[in-house]
Amino acid sequence: MAHPYKLLFVCLGNICRSPSAENIMNHLIQQRGLQDQIVCDSAGTSSYHIGSPPDRRMAAAAAQQGIVLKGAARQFTHGGVEASDFEAFDLILAMDEDNRANMLRLDREQLYADKVKLMCEFCRTHSDREVPDPYYGGEAGFRYVIDLLIDACGGLLDSIEKELKELKAN
């Protein structure tokens, strides 16, 4: 394969949901030995927390599932001076409809709408449409988001693995 399949997870501030999704996905990718085929990153649609590490409450909830949250928050880029995240990634996963709408508004020519999906589209057991923002809630909310993202990331990885096998076969 010429280049790895590139995933970008996006939420509002890039300190709770999207870095959790990125690190859960990396954890699952390593378990399946696919780290040379799939690469992950995360970003926020806002600039609130640029440079900040993942929220410590989110990190504590992830640690209970054996997942370490790494990274520093950055803002989603859409061209101009920097390279566009729209162009750099094969699939962009929004944690909720607001994040998705915010990114699609930046895509003025509507060139990349097919790349932007909702994370919960890949859930296998949860019926949620969006990943709730746990920022202002209690510990249970953070744990729920980790469980939800483990489910969605597993479904997403199954989907990508199937796609990669089909590409290899052709």
Give the active site residues.
11, 17, 133
Q: Indicate the burial class of 138 (C-beta count within 10 angstroms; 0-12, 13-18, 19 or more).
A: exposed
**Which is it for the CA torsion 144, 59, 132, 157, positive or negative?**
negative
CA 59 to CA 147: how far, in whole Å?
13
Residues with Cβ within 8 Å of 96's Cβ and at least 6 positions away in sequence, in order, are: 11, 118, 130, 131, 132, 133
Half-sphere exposure of 131 (CA within 13 A, CB side): 35
SS3 71: coil
